[in-house]
Chain A
Amino acid sequence: MAAAALCPCQAVLARRGGALRALCGSVRGLAAGTQTHFGFQSVTEEERREKINQVFESVAKKYDVMNDSMTLGIHRVWKDILVHKMNPCPGTLLLDVAGGTGDIAFRFINYIRSARERQLQRKLRQHQNLSWQEISESYQEEQFKPLGDSQVVVCDINKEMLKVGKQKAQYLGYSEGLSWVLGNAEELPFDDDKFDVYTIAFGIRNVTRMDLALQEAYRVLKPGGRFLCLEFSHVSNPIISRLYDLYSFQVIPVLGEVIAGDWKSYQYLVESIRRFPPQEELKAMIEDAGFFKVDYQNLNSGIVAIHSGFKL
């Protein structure tokens, strides 16, 4: 029974490097909890959760600054593309998991606001034969619903990240349509069939049991709901891959040390990217969780990929 549970773990380890290491891993696993990876180290699942918790506690305050400096601001474009792909209409209920500092949530709200304005304008154009009285009455009704019942729930496992997100929301002036929930992607504190869209941007890499997270995503989505995952992925082009590796391993930890005073967290970041399953493998995992029409879109030659699936 224990051997069966360890089998998927062993398969992953064998693929990653060396039958010997897999054997050692399974022995250690029997001794101290299932083995998994933290960057290039081998740790138990409990240790991994704890370490990742510490990483995000320490990077929370400088998270946005570091994102901008590491990606030279390009992460903003990636997130914009994700929300455009989502193309939400007013009335959508979004769950943004691992959404800590709120980047996706704020973009969603902006998108809905402009979609809502366009909607209102269209309505008004259709009613141009109304009297002034009727027009001002219609303004009054619409005023109370600038978001048109859309809601976004930001769920994150780390309190510090949520704190930073809430402060940002206050500073930027986002108040309605936004909720902040402390929760674990592997075990979401929500009921079944609740949300229209589930997004996880640059978060699924840090989840210890990805299969559980995907199952939870399937559970909380309504039938017809969409799963969207934005994550670092694998670059197949050899030249770009070499440059990307060079940049990742030489420059990013240095940026982490200089800007955030934290080399190790950013070393973990680049190592965890290398450990993450490539596009096709992630697609298979999403299909395993029950999603249909699973597809992915590479951005920047595969440095980042958006995976999408539907619950039917």
Chain B
Amino acid sequence: MLLLLRRAAARAGVPLLRAGPGSPGNAGLSRSEPRARRGRGGEEEEEEDEGCYQLYPGHIPTSPLQKALLAAGSAVMALYDPYRHDMVAVLGETTGCLALPNLRDKMKHHPEGYRILQERPRICLSTLDMSRLRELPDGSLGREYVRFLEDNKVSPDTRMPAKFVDDEELAYVIQRYREVHDMMHTLLGMPTNMLGEVVVKWFEAVQTGLPMCVLGAAFGPVRLSARKLQVLATELVPWAIRSGRNASCILNVYYEQRWEQPVESLREEIGIFPPPAVCV
């Protein structure tokens, strides 16, 4: 109920926010600016009488102009400095306005996806029982996932929370997509080096249609050596595209309830073809 009310308020509020470039016009701007600037502490403070446009914790309301500038700026910065993962995240959020509702609908119309949308599970160190996962048999999803995290020295907690998505449910969808990204690495058997990331991006681009994935897939290879480019073009990309097309929606899998399932069986169930035998 609260969700519906908030969504209605958001739909009413967000268009009023900044009707266009001219609106934050005069010196007495205090009225038209979103009051939702929370201090860096992040905690809810006394709200101003103007009301709150923040749809979820961490949400920063933005005007269409700001979104356009963010999209352009983050694309350039992500290319310039590939280690700026936050820029890749911002690019995904600002350009996903068509793809995210699509993904959300795919989830809604699938029983497991629908359950995920209702229960809103999160993959982070506080919700994962790492010791239990480590004890699972080799080849199971849980064991291979933990192995992937340890081999590549990554943690599920480094995912940026959504900031610029103007819908609370879509913010969860993109958050879920980010958290499931590591699962993709595990299922596709790709490490987190540049080549592995590009392969996963190709797969995700076909699966989700997110412009950020398409851009990443297209521009990522720019930084690869000729030999790697050849492997990419001849073996990995065709496989990634075929798997992406064949597989069902990866967001419709409740991974947290399938830790014991062997990776091979999960691949078959989703429709991912076995990875080619190349050194990535």
Given the known inter-chain contacts A234-B27, A250-B65, A259-B77, please indicate yes or no for A43 contacting B87, CB distance below 8 A: no
Complex partner residue of B24 from A16, A17, A246, A261, CB under 8 angstroms: A246
Say whether A250 contacts B21, CB under 8 Å. yes
Chain A residues whose CB sits within 8 angstroms of the CB of B39 once the complex forms: 38, 41, 43, 47, 51, 54, 264
CB distance from A210 to the nearest CB of B (A): 20
Bound CA–CA A249/B21 (angstroms): 10
Closest A residue, CB atoms, query B31: A17
Task: Spot the interface stretch: B5-13, B40-48, B129-137, B206-214.
Answer: B40-48
Bound CA–CA A39/B49 (angstroms): 15
Bound CA–CA A202/B77 (angstroms): 28
Residues from 64 to 98 in B contacting A, C-beta threshold 8 Å: 65-66, 69-70, 73-74, 76-77, 84, 86-87, 90
Bound CA–CA A28/B49 (angstroms): 14
Say whether A258 contacts B74, CB under 8 Å. yes
Say whether B24 contacts A42, CB under 8 Å. no
Does B163 reach chain A (CB closer than 8 Å)?
A: yes
Chain A residues whose CB sits within 8 angstroms of the CB of B40 once the complex forms: 51, 54-55, 58, 264-265
Given the known inter-chain contacts A42-B46, A254-B70, A255-B73, please indicate yes or no for A249 contacting B37, CB distance below 8 A: no
Complex partner residue of B66 from A40, A51, A253, CB under 8 angstroms: A253
Bound CA–CA A177/B268 (angstroms): 72
Bound CA–CA A87/B90 (angstroms): 46
Residues from 284 to 298 in A contacting B, C-beta threshold 8 Å: none
Closest B residue, CB atoms, query A242: B25
For the complex, count residues of A whose C-beta is within 8 A of B.
39
CB distance from B226 to the nearest CB of A (A): 31
Chain B residues whose CB sits within 8 angstroms of the CB of A238 once the complex forms: 26
Say whether A268 contacts B37, CB under 8 Å. yes
Given the known inter-chain contacts A257-B90, A268-B37, A274-B29, please indicate yes or no for A263 contacting B63, CB distance below 8 A: no
Number of A-B contacts (CB under 8 A): 91
Bound CA–CA A101/B26 (angstroms): 33
Given the known inter-chain contacts A40-B37, A51-B39, please indicate yes or no for A254 contacting B69, CB distance below 8 A: yes
Say whether A250 contacts B29, CB under 8 Å. no
Chain B residues whose CB sits within 8 angstroms of the CB of A271 once the complex forms: 33, 37
Closest A residue, CB atoms, query B38: A264
Interface SS of chain B: loop
Say whether A41 contacts B87, CB under 8 Å. no
Chain A residues whose CB sits within 8 angstroms of the CB of B87 once the complex forms: 258
CB distance from A47 to the nearest CB of B (A): 7
Given the known inter-chain contacts A40-B30, A258-B87, A263-B60, please indicate yes or no for A249 contacting B77, CB distance below 8 A: no
Say whether A241 contacts B27, CB under 8 Å. yes
User: Binary interface profile of A, 247-280, with partner B (CB < 8 Å = 1, else 0)?
Assistant: 0011101110111010111011001001000000
Seen from chain B, the residues whose Cβ lies within 8 Å of a Cβ on chain A are 21-22, 24-27, 29-30, 33, 35, 37-41, 45-46, 48-49, 60, 63, 65-66, 69-70, 73-74, 76-77, 84, 86-87, 90, 163
- A-B pairs, top 7 by smallest CB distance, nearest first, are A258-B73, A254-B69, A249-B24, A54-B40, A51-B39, A245-B24, A250-B65
A250-B63, A258-B74, A263-B60 given; 4 more Cβ-contact pairs under 8 Å: A51-B39, A241-B27, A258-B90, A271-B33
Seen from chain A, the residues whose Cβ lies within 8 Å of a Cβ on chain B are 16-17, 20-21, 28, 38-43, 47, 51, 54-55, 58, 234, 238, 241-242, 245-246, 249-251, 253-255, 257-259, 261, 263-265, 267-268, 271, 274
28 CB < 8 A contacts A-B:
A20-B49, A40-B30, A41-B35, A41-B37, A41-B45, A41-B48, A42-B46, A43-B45, A47-B39, A51-B39, A51-B41, A54-B41, A234-B27, A245-B29, A246-B25, A250-B65, A250-B66, A254-B69, A254-B70, A257-B70, A257-B73, A257-B90, A258-B73, A258-B87, A258-B90, A264-B37, A264-B38, A274-B29
